[in-house]
Amino acid sequence: MCLYTIPYSKTYGICKEFVDGMADRGGAVRGPVIPFDPESFKQVALEKLQGAGARLLFYTWTVGTIVESGRVKGVIIENKSGRQAILAKVVIDASGDGDVATSAGAQYVLGRESDSKMRPMSVVFRMGPVDVLKIKEYRDRNPMDFSPDPGHNILDIEQKIVRLDGFFNIVRAANKAGRLDKNIHYLRLYGIAGETGNLYINSVRVYGVDGTKAGDLSRAQEEAMRQIREISDFVKQDIPGFADAVILETAVMMGVRETRRILGDYTLGIEDCETARRFFDTIMTNETHIVPGVEIHSPDGGEGAADDAYVAGLELPFNEFSVPYGCLLPQALEGILVAGRCISTTHEGDSWTRSQPFMMQIGEAAGTAAALAARNNVTPRNLDIKQLQSALRKAAAHFLLPEGAEQA
């Protein structure tokens, strides 16, 4: 996998701790992008949870929410031990789909505001062994066949960093010949690899499905596995370096990019992002590779096609944006915070916030806020924002306030 949105120099707080933890055991590279081994991520995550004294419940689903007079008091869970209730002073919904908040009665927007369409789903898979030198030789001979953006076109054998968007001509020829699905227009490769190694492929694209519906998820999984068979056959035959590669693993879950976005006290819009607006209740600031007005992973398809400027035509500058605390507070509900891709943004604003490093920063803010609220016996909405910002600063989080604002 790869934290490809930012370089190591722009990781902060818990995100930086994770990268350092993985890199120290050889599971990540501190580079201009950050490829990492998901198995290493699992180990670091488990160690941090155990170190914090968290009680873990794996193989468990939330199936309901306990609400009294508009305040969330806990959740109903189900697992091998049956159905149980867990009470809490503060609940954080990090389900991605806003399942807990929605069950509690939170209002939300599903997908794009105009038509409810959602970004495509994917299943990432890993192949190996791959001769990376052959890929590099092809890339060096055919520079126009790859993204012009430095962050999407990295093959550094010495540092073992691979992050490539491209093989446009080969892929489009196979697409036109009917050997690849019509929605696949390029290959996205990444991983930690020197002259040889294993690489992740993130090129599966399944459109027109809703991640909040079991039938759609099942249909998407079937379609994704079909596309994986096509892509693996194609790369072995057509892409230099893959002749001896086999599929080593597929992701354990469908990659859902967009479903519900909870309506919060504040909804982050595209104007906020494009103008780098700062807020008095900012809880994270960072920079992302994005061009205002150009969308990645559009619900309309065509990602990586010849007329898609984001993937094939542009060098992407870094643009600063901030997220306020109000995006984490569901309207008309107390005792609950949301984190992850279900925070309160517009569809266009979500293009800026949805990447992994930013979600980690937002998650850190939500966890810190929940702990402070519980300790002070107040609801998250009534938490002193300066107290939260001060705690985040002590944890080396990064956020910027408006000019002239009192610093926490």
Q: Per-residue pLDDT tens for 128-185? A: 999 999 999 999 999 999 998 888 899 999 999 999 999 999 999 999 999 999 999 9
Residue 408, pLDDT > 60, answer no
Instruction: Look at residue 104 in the predicted model and tell me its pLDDT.
Output: 98
Q: What is the pLDDT of residues 272-311, one digit of tens each?
A: 999 999 999 999 999 998 877 778 899 999 888 877 777 7
pLDDT for 2: 63
Summarised one tens digit per residue, pLDDT across range 312-329 is: 767 778 899 999 999 999
Q: Could you give the CA distance from residue 29 to residue 262 in angstroms, rounded to a whole number?
A: 34
**In the numeric block, which tokens belong to residue 378?**
């107040």
Phi-psi region of 274 (alpha: psi -120 to 50; beta: other; left: phi over 0): alpha
Q: What is the mean pLDDT of the chain?
A: 94
Pairing of strands 91-93, 336-338: parallel
In the structure, what pLDDT confidence band is assigned to residue 406 with cuts at 50, 70 and 90? low
- Whether the per-residue pLDDT at 117 is higher than 80: the answer is yes
The answer to whether the peptide bond before residue 129 is cis (omega within 30 degrees of 0) is yes
Closest CA to 187 of 117, 245, 256: 245
* Token duo for residue 374: 């519980």
Pairwise CA distance, residues 58 & 295, whole Å: 36
pLDDT of residue 75: 98
What would the mean pLDDT of 361-379 be, rounded to a whole number? 98
318 beta partners: 289
Q: State the DSSP H helix or E strand holding residue 386, giving kind and residue range, or none if neither.
A: helix 385-394
**Residue pLDDT, tens place only, 208-236:** 999 999 999 999 999 999 999 999 999 99
Contact 79, 60 (CB under 8 A): yes
pTM for the structure as a whole: 0.94
